[in-house]
Amino acid sequence: MVIAKEPSYGFPMGLLKIAFGSVSAWLAVGLAACGSSKPPMCDRAGISDGLEALVMADGEHKQMLAAAMVAEACQLPEPVRKGLADIAQSGQCIAAARGIAAAPELLVAACAGGHRAVGAIAESSEPNTALVDKCQLERLGFASRTELVRGGHWACKLLGAMTFVALRDAGEPSAKAIGRALTVE
């Protein structure tokens, strides 16, 4: 018998299970409730509980917790999910860069400037300002320019914007709250 090890994302699994629920349970409930073979984009209860938990999290761990929540509770393109899981585990935004590079269509949808903009952003002395300007992130509507320019690493912000676009385009009602949790809060 093979026993699969659950990912920890740098947090105790008990806390993640309490905050986000069991993936198999939400999938079964979602499939039964929808009467469809397509699961919901995100586990509604997991996202709701996770967003509530973020209110109580300190600034240092908030982005890691948000990334863990989304990686666990939402069905996303694999490079984006993996980038979020890596951020949750390491707290390092270099993991976001891998997710950005591996999802070019989503990058172009989130960042009006595309791949050229990413190169310019990485070399800028004010990368968050360059990110907001070159990608025109305000047009996505999940956060204001002031919020997007403030603090945090540009790569995590861009992966958060890509996550928002994927969820919004799939009709996920919590897309805006998730985008904000990953980029500005």
**Could you read off the pLDDT tens digit of each residue along the chain, which spans 185 residues?**
444 444 444 444 343 333 333 332 332 333 333 333 345 589 989 899 988 888 888 776 888 999 999 999 999 999 999 999 999 999 888 878 888 989 999 999 999 999 899 989 989 999 999 999 999 999 999 999 999 999 889 999 999 999 999 999 999 999 999 999 999 86
Neighbouring C-alpha atoms within 13 Å toward the C-beta of 25: 8
Q: Locate 119 and state its tokens.
A: 């190169």
Strand positions, DSSP E, 8-110: none
Phi-psi region of 77 (alpha: psi -120 to 50; beta: other; left: phi over 0): beta
Backbone angles phi, psi at 42, to 5 degrees: -135, 150
First-to-final CA distance of the chain: 43
Q: What letter does residue 151 receive in the DSSP assignment?
A: S
